[in-house]
């Protein structure tokens, strides 16, 4: 199997890529290379109450459950720990607004820059299969220094500092896929890794097939996930498997799973909106005091 390893990539890079199988589908940006800020939040608590005002005693707009996706409406926090968000009601189908406590949600790649490496590339009709046969689950070298990563990887495509974290991004070919690899550093030490697939699939059901393949692989290697959610906005598509891709691209369904393995948190999430799909995955040092962890 072609792992596509860069000659400069260090052992930690290769181990992390193989161990986590972090594959994510993101839309290419039209025009010149530029940054894209994703301002979506995912509910990480078992349930999150959306209030009319930033006050736990104010009327409840709706209760959302783990895995639900909301849009951050304001970058400001209200009364220190409340986010003002927009979401589509599962009851009425209308877009509603309200406040949620910051401890109940996490930002989805809000600080990761997505670079258009191949402008104008068409959707892939017949993407390569992911061959996971016989892959091991090596440990990730958490705490690796920024200097060590730069020595192994060389100059990054982008560097970004946000929320006390630093992000170093690289273009890589891994498992036969074009990827954007991001190292997340806290105090110049590695605390998380993210990898995004820089390919678009014509058949949106293929994202779901790849998600299930990776999830099944991790279930076999690590064990059952600590949670495994499929959240529907519109149940009309749920009974027809052929409709799942369409529902995914319109934001009608989202999938997410989490595991813990040898001090590492592994996470997959698959969401969509306006015919754009984000197949995100990451690994975190669960012992690190790290805003990026889950």
pLDDT digits over 137-148, tens only?
666 789 999 999
Enclosing domain of residue 102? 40-107
Decide: 272 and 205 in contact? Cβ < 8 Å: no
In a domain, 3, yes or no: no
Taking only the tens place, the pLDDT of each residue in 65-86 is: 888 888 887 666 776 788 888 8
Q: How many domains does the chain have?
A: 2
In a domain, 149, yes or no: yes
Cβ contacts of residue 190 below 8 Å, gap of 6+? 12, 141, 142, 143, 144, 145, 149, 183, 184, 285
Question: pTM of the prediction?
Answer: 0.66
Element (H, E) at 191: strand 189-197
CATH number of residue 96's parent domain: 2.30.30.40
The residue that leads in pLDDT, 260 or 131, is 260
Give the percent of the chain with pLDDT over 90.
12
- Are residue 118 and residue 48 in the same domain, yes or no? no
Task: Taking residues 149-164, report their average pLDDT.
Answer: 85
Decide: 185 and 284 in contact? Cβ < 8 Å: no
> Quick one: which of 76, 85, 90 has its CA closest to 104?
85
Taking only the tens place, the pLDDT of each residue in 257-288 is: 888 888 888 888 887 777 777 777 788 888 87
- Are residue 97 and residue 27 in the same domain, yes or no? no
At residue 151 the predicted structure's pLDDT band, cuts being 50, 70 and 90, is very high
> Quick one: which of 162, 248, 177, 182 has its CA closest to 212?
248
- Are residue 95 and residue 234 in the same domain, yes or no? no
- Are residue 120 and residue 243 in the same domain, yes or no? yes
- Are residue 123 and residue 254 in the same domain, yes or no? yes
Which of 67, 92, 107 is where one domain is finished? 107
- Are residue 141 and residue 155 in the same domain, yes or no? yes
Give the percent of the chain with pLDDT over 70.
75
């Amino acid at each position: 199997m072609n792992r596509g390893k860069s000659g400069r990539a260090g052992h930690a890079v290769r181990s992390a890529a193989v161990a986590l199988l972090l594959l994510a589908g993101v839309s290419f940006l039209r025009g010149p290379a530029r940054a894209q800020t994703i301002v979506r939040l995912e509910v990480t608590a078992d349930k999150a109450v959306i209030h009319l005002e930033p006050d736990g005693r104010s009327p409840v707009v709706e209760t959302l459950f783990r895995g639900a996706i909301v849009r951050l409406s304001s970058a400001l926090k209200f009364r220190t720990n409340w986010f003002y968000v927009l979401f589509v009601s599962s009851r009425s189908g209308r877009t509603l607004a309200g406040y949620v406590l910051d401890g109940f949600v996490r930002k989805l790649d809000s600080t990761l820059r997505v670079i258009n490496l191949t402008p104008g590339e068409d959707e892939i009709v017949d993407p390569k299969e992911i061959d996971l046969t016989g892959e091991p689950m090596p440990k990730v070298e958490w705490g690796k220094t920024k200097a060590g990563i730069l020595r192994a990887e060389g100059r990054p495509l982008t560097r970004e500092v946000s929320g006390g974290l630093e992000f170093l991004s690289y273009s890589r070919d891994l498992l036969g896929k074009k990827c954007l690899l991001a190292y997340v550093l806290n105090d110049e030490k590695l605390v998380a890794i993210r990898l995004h697939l820089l390919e678009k699939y014509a058949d949106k059901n293929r994202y779901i097939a790849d998600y299930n393949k990776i999830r099944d692989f991790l279930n076999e290697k690590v064990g059952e996930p600590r949670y495994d959610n499929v959240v529907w906005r519109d149940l009309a598509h749920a009974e027809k498997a052929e409709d799942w891709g369409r529902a995914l691209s319109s934001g009608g369904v989202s999938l997410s799973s989490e595991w813990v393995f040898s001090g590492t948190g592994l996470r997959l999430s698959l969401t969509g909106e306006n015919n754009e799909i984000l197949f995100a995955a990451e690994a975190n040092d669960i012992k690190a005091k790290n805003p990026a962890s889950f």
